[in-house]
């Protein structure tokens, strides 16, 4: 069986740790020509790394210029970059601060807008189509406020779904596919607070029963390879939960 991303010119934004790094490793295994962008230095050396704050318009422009120079074009964008806004003041609607709201929207929704816009412009320029995969969250579809009560985060991830589906409809005739992953709780550095909480760990046994418990970055990487490959050539505008049953399960807590 041929590698599924053989010679695909791919950019992963937010690929230096967690879900993005797992995807980067799998993309290389599947034959991709890969550039990884992020704020931190990656631990792997099997791909080109470029520094970028994806919420900065100037840095995103520089990233795409350098990526296209290195790869000779672009076939795939996988946007993973994002963050929690708790430290900035995100929380329940009545407690969320203006700073918490803006920081979270910028880190998640604005950054996705920036990279998606640049990718679509490049795909249209090339005239040969392309694939975009964006990162949402199961919390945009299936809230769980007992343990995960962050309104700006949910809104930003819901905005990514709406933006992606609108763009998928707009550019389907240009052979540009745009899809979304909506993970449940995945064992990554960003999720360390939740995963280390005994009450949340107990909750996950019934909320994500396929684990039971948190998923792994590789659970998302497998889905990402498929949706970015030609195997998914007839798929656009979908939102795929990678959630171990989260969105189907009540979840129990004391």
Instruction: Confirm whether 200 is domain-assigned.
Output: yes
pTM: 0.96
Upstream peptide bond of 212 is cis (omega within 30 degrees of 0): yes
Question: What pLDDT is stored for residue 219 in this prediction?
Answer: 97
Instruction: Confirm whether 245 is domain-assigned.
Output: no
CB-based contacts of 181: which residues, under 8 Å, 6+ apart? 133, 134, 135, 136, 220, 223, 224, 227, 239, 240, 242
Instruction: Confirm whether 131 is domain-assigned.
Output: yes
Angstrom distance (rounded) from CA 93 to CA 100 = 11
Instruction: Confirm whether 78 is domain-assigned.
Output: yes
Instruction: Confirm whether 246 is domain-assigned.
Output: no
The CATH code of the domain that includes 166 is: 3.40.50.720
Which carries the bigger pLDDT value, residue 14 or residue 42? 14
**Percent of the chain scored above 70 by pLDDT?**
98
CB atoms within 10 A of CB 71: 18
Instruction: Confirm whether 251 is domain-assigned.
Output: no
Instruction: Confirm whether 162 is domain-assigned.
Output: yes
Instruction: Confirm whether 183 is domain-assigned.
Output: yes
Catalytic positions are 153
Q: Which domain holds residue 24?
A: 9-240
Number of domains in the chain: 1
Question: 121-154, pLDDT tens digit by residue?
Answer: 999 999 999 999 999 999 999 999 999 999 999 9
Question: What pLDDT is stored for residue 251 in this prediction?
Answer: 82
Question: 162-185, pLDDT tens digit by residue?
Answer: 999 999 999 999 999 999 999 999
């Amino acid at each position: 069986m041929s590698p599924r991303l053989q010679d695909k010119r791919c950019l992963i934004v937010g690929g230096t740790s967690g879900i993005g790094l797992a995807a980067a490793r799998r993309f290389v295994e599947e034959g991709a020509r890969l550039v990884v962008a992020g704020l931190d230095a990656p631990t792997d050396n099997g791909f080109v790394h470029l520094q970028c704050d994806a919420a900065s318009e100037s840095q995103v422009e520089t990233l795409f210029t350098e990526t296209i120079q290195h790869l000779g074009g672009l076939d795939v964008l996988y946007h993973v970059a994002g963050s929690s806004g708790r430290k900035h003041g995100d929380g329940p609607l009545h407690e969320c601060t203006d700073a918490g709201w803006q920081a979270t929207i910028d880190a998640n929704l604005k950054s996705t807008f920036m990279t998606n816009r640049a990718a679509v412009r490049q795909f249209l320029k090339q005239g040969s189509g392309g694939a975009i995969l964006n990162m949402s969250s199961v919390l945009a579809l299936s809230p769980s406020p007992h343990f995960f009560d962050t309104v700006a985060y949910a809104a930003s991830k819901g905005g990514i779904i709406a933006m992606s589906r609108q763009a998928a409809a707009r550019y389907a005739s240009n052979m540009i596919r745009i899809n979304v992953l909506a993970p449940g709780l995945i064992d990554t550095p960003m999720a360390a607070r939740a995963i280390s909480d005994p009450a949340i760990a107990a909750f996950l046994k019934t909320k994500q029963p396929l684990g039971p418990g948190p998923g792994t970055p590789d659970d998302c990487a497998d889905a990402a390879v498929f949706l970015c490959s030609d195997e998914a050539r007839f798929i656009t505008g979908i939102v795929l939960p990678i959630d171990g049953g989260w969105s189907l399960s009540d979840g129990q807590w004391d």
